[in-house]
Amino acid sequence: MIKRELLGFTSVGALGFLIDFGLFNLLLALGSIALLSNFASVTLAAFVVYVGNLRLSFRHVKIGSRSKSIWRFLLLTIVTVAVNNALVWAAFHALGTPSALEANAVKAFVVALLFGVRFLVMKFYIYLR
C-alpha cells in the first residue's frame, strides 16, 4: 500500500514541480521579484498537489471530514510555503542576486528537502484512515 501511495505522491509531486518551476520561471522572466514569484508558484502547485493526491495517491482512504482535511491541508500549505520562502530567501540573501540557474538550483534543493515531510504529513495527518 505504501509503495502505491509513494508512487502516486511522486507522480503528483512531479506535476506540482512542473507547475511550480514553470510559473516561477515565467514570473521571473516577466520581471517579478524572486520571493513573490516563489510564493505564487508554490501556492498554486500546492493546491494542484492536494487535489491530485486526494484523487490518486490516497484515493483508497476514507476521509471522515472533507472540511477537516482541507483545513489541515491549508495549515500544511501555509507552513511549507513559509518554510519554502524562508529557505529560498536565506539562500538568495547569501548569493546576492542569483542567476536563473542558481535560483532554480535553490528551489530544487528546497523542494527535495520538503518532499518527505509533506508525504508523511499528508499520509498521517491530512488523509487519515
| Exposure letters 6-29 (e unless 16+ CB within 10 A, then b) | eebbeebbeebbebbbebbbebbe
Cα distances from 101 to residues 6, 30, 80, 105, 107, in angstroms, run 29, 16, 23, 6, 10
Q: Which of 81, 8, 80 is closest to 51 using CA atoms?
A: 8
Query: Residue ranges per domain, the chain?
Result: 2-126
Q: Round to whole Å and give the CA distance between 22 and 4.
A: 27
Give the type of residue at 46: A
Looking at residue 58, its pLDDT comes to 81
pLDDT of residue 128: 67
- Amino acid 64: pLDDT: 67
Mean pLDDT of the chain: 85
Measured CA to CA in angstroms, residue 56 lies from 80, 104, 123 at distances of 21, 28, 13
Tens of pLDDT, residues 20-76: 999 999 999 999 988 899 889 988 998 898 889 888 888 777 766 777 778 888 888
The answer, as to whether pTM is greater than 0.95, is no
* DSSP letter string, 51-63: HHIIIIITTTSPP
Phi, psi dihedral angles at 14 (to 5 degrees): -65, -40
Mean pLDDT throughout 81-95? Answer: 83
Res. 129: pLDDT tops 60: no
In this structure, which amino acid lies at residue 115?
F
